[in-house]
Amino acid sequence: MMHELPDPTPRPLDHLALTGARDAPALVDKAGVLDHGGLDAAVGALAAALLAKGLRPGDRVASWLPKQRLACLLPLAAARAALVHVPVNPLLKHGQVAHILADSGARLLIAGRGRAETLEPGERPDGCALLVEEDEGAALLGHGDRLPPSSADPDALVAILYTSGSTGQPKGVMLSHANLWLGAIGVAHYLGLGPDDRTLAVLPLSFDYGQNQLLSTWAAGGCVHPLDYLTARDVVRAVGRHRITTLAGVPPLWIQLAEAEWPAESVAPLRRLTNTGGRMSVPLVRRLRALFPAARLFSMYGLTEAFRSTYLDPALIDDHPDSIGGAIPFAEVLVVRPDGTIAADGEPGELVHAGPLVAQGYWRDADRTAQRFRPAPAASRHGGTAVWSGDTVVRDAAGLLRFVGRDDEMIKSSGNRISPTEIEEAAIASGAVAEAVALGMPDDRLGQVILLYARPVGPDAGERLTDWFRHNLPGFMQPAQVIWRDDLPRNANGKLDRTALKAEAAEMTA
């Protein structure tokens, strides 16, 4: 376990390829073993290949790929080439990908042939070239020229991660070299990662923590084993086969893993389990502690706009299973009253995150940036711009935080943040629905599921809506239940009354 705090001086992100012993393994995938020396060489070759495509510094490069070698190297290669990486969740459908490409102004999309062929004519914007991985991926990684480590300004933009907002289409969070560098070495520090650690990367690389699985492991000189899994059994087998020491997940995955059969050879190598993307229930914490008694279980809280805010020391989780702990390295976390003053112990307040992990705002969206990124409270040590999370927490006398609830209408299902408005707009776009309200309802396995109230158009509305959702939205955005109504309630302002529908839905599930 590391004890001294890491150096707070940020460096260009691609320098993470230089941190491990050159002959130590850095990446093990279907293509074989890549050591840290090979990682640096491959990053340099890929960076040179991207520039050879005619890209210029600051151009956005989108990737819509499974967890293969090219996808794993792109965050560092784009940084070395002074480009901006835009990873796209492989589960998204073509319409959502088209929005991200257009909004980011991507100059290049790298995708597999199957995904690329789902894009309709015009869904790839003018000026955005397509590179099919099966045709050109090997040539990119095997490019003859190599770029040396960059001397980028740590404050320069290096990535845009798209995350759903409480209204409308996904928005792009702008991240600098410093944001990602400090996030990587900070997580490596408090997890106690070392050169002999092996991380099974199961989270999507388009997620902030999914990407950090790579970056924090490489920062510690360790090795990443990427895995696209279908079942919990796949994860169990991979842990045993590769002698995995570090496993990250979201609550729905942990529920599946807690119910799986774990042979002794898969349990033994695990040193740490980390949770993000939602709160684990106390029974789940107890089950994981019993199943993996020798592994340290980290409960964490974060948001893409500041990467990570808190973690709980695993030594405290048995006594405080519902706590999200305190601030991670480089983060300042405050519990703030509506008037901007600091809440007392035991008093609910908004979690506000200040310090160098705070992102640069939302890409080309000044209005939403101004709502979420605001001046830090007067009591802040760091000052400057802070992220006002909209989440309510309570701090106890020992300084530990407990998550209370989300103030916005976001739906969190299976670790995904889902915009109700995006679901409602999709329902209306189907032509089968005149009006719709999407709500998140509690679910023991997924955290929340989507309940959709809808006013139908036509006698076959149900069949048309189901078919449209199936073809245009990923599985995690499919409503678990649709309640059809000839009329939906409205409030005094004439708007659809979400509060009344929430109360009705709560009664149905009580």
Residue 1 has pLDDT above 50, yes or no: no
Taking the C-alpha atoms of residue 11 and residue 180, their distance in angstroms, rounded to an integer, is: 10
User: In the structure, what pLDDT confidence band is assigned to residue 494 with cuts at 50, 70 and 90?
Assistant: low
Percent composition of the chain: helix, strand, coil (DSSP 3-state, to 5): 35, 25, 40
Q: Which residues contact 306 (CB under 8 A, 6 or more apart)?
A: 331, 353, 357, 358, 359, 387, 389
Task: With H, G, I as helix, E, B as strand and everything else as coil, classify residue 171.
Answer: strand
User: In the structure, what pLDDT confidence band is assigned to residue 168 with cuts at 50, 70 and 90?
Assistant: low
CA distances from 246 to 98, 102, 188, 466 (A): 35, 37, 11, 39
In three-state form (DSSP H/G/I as H, E/B as E, the rest C), the secondary structure along 139-153 is HHHCCCCCCCCCCCC
Taking the C-alpha atoms of residue 335 and residue 353, their distance in angstroms, rounded to an integer, is: 9
Residue 421 has pLDDT above 90, yes or no: no
Angle, CA of 46, 49 and 51, to the nearest 5°: 115
Residue 146 has pLDDT above 50, yes or no: yes
Residue 405 has pLDDT above 80, yes or no: no
The amino acid present at 71, given as its one-letter code, is A
Specify the range with the lowest mean pLDDT, choosing from 70-79, 121-130, 415-424, 459-468: 415-424
The amino acid present at 407, given as its one-letter code, is D
- pLDDT value, residue 287: 94
Written as six digits, the tokens of 495 are 């708007």
Residue range 432-438: average pLDDT?
Answer: 91
- pLDDT value, residue 167: 53
Helix (H) or strand (E) holding 86: strand 84-87
Give yes or no for a contact between 401 and 333, defined as CB atoms under 8 angstroms apart.
Answer: yes
Strand ordering across the sheet containing 171-176: 129-132, 108-111, 60-64, 84-87, 157-163, 171-176
Residue range 243-267: average pLDDT?
Answer: 93
User: In the structure, what pLDDT confidence band is assigned to residue 337 with cuts at 50, 70 and 90?
Assistant: very high
Phi–psi pair at 20, nearest 5 degrees: -95, 165
Gap between the terminal Cα atoms of the chain: 45
Residue 348 has pLDDT above 60, yes or no: yes
Q: Which residues contact 54 (CB under 8 A, 6 or more apart)?
A: none
Written as six digits, the tokens of 304 are 């893409």
Residue 256 has pLDDT above 60, yes or no: yes
Which one has a higher pLDDT value, 458 or 180? 180
Task: With H, G, I as helix, E, B as strand and everything else as coil, classify residue 390.
Answer: strand
Residue range 77-85: average pLDDT?
Answer: 98
β-bridge partners, 354: 332
Q: pLDDT by residue (tens digit) across 300-314? A: 999 999 989 999 999
Strand ordering across the sheet containing 447-456: 433-443, 447-456, 481-484
Specify the range with the lowest mean pLDDT, choosing from 213-222, 237-246, 406-415: 406-415
Which one has a higher pLDDT value, 252 or 172? 172
DSSP state of 197: -
Residue 251 has pLDDT above 50, yes or no: yes
Q: What is the pTM (predicted TM-score) of this model?
A: 0.88
Q: pLDDT by residue (tens digit) across 273-306? A: 999 877 788 889 999 999 999 999 999 999 999 9
Residue range 52-67: average pLDDT?
Answer: 97
* C-alpha torsion sign, points 13, 19, 20, 21: positive
Specify the range with the lowest mean pLDDT, choosing from 89-103, 338-352, 395-409: 395-409
Residue range 5-27: average pLDDT?
Answer: 96
- What's the fold here for domain 411-509? GMP Synthetase; Chain A, domain 3 (3.30.300)
**Domain chopping of the chain, boundaries:** 411-509
User: In the structure, what pLDDT confidence band is assigned to residue 425 with cuts at 50, 70 and 90?
Assistant: confident
Residue 492 has pLDDT above 80, yes or no: no
- pLDDT value, residue 420: 85
Give residue for tokens 């400057």. Answer: 384
- pLDDT value, residue 493: 56
Give yes or no for a contact between 266 and 236, defined as CB atoms under 8 angstroms apart.
Answer: yes
- pLDDT value, residue 306: 95
Angle, CA of 164, 167 and 173, to the nearest 5°: 40
pLDDT mean across residues, the chain: 93
Residue range 188-198: average pLDDT?
Answer: 98
Q: Is 367 exposed, middle or buried (0-12, 13-18, 19+ CB in 10 A)?
A: exposed
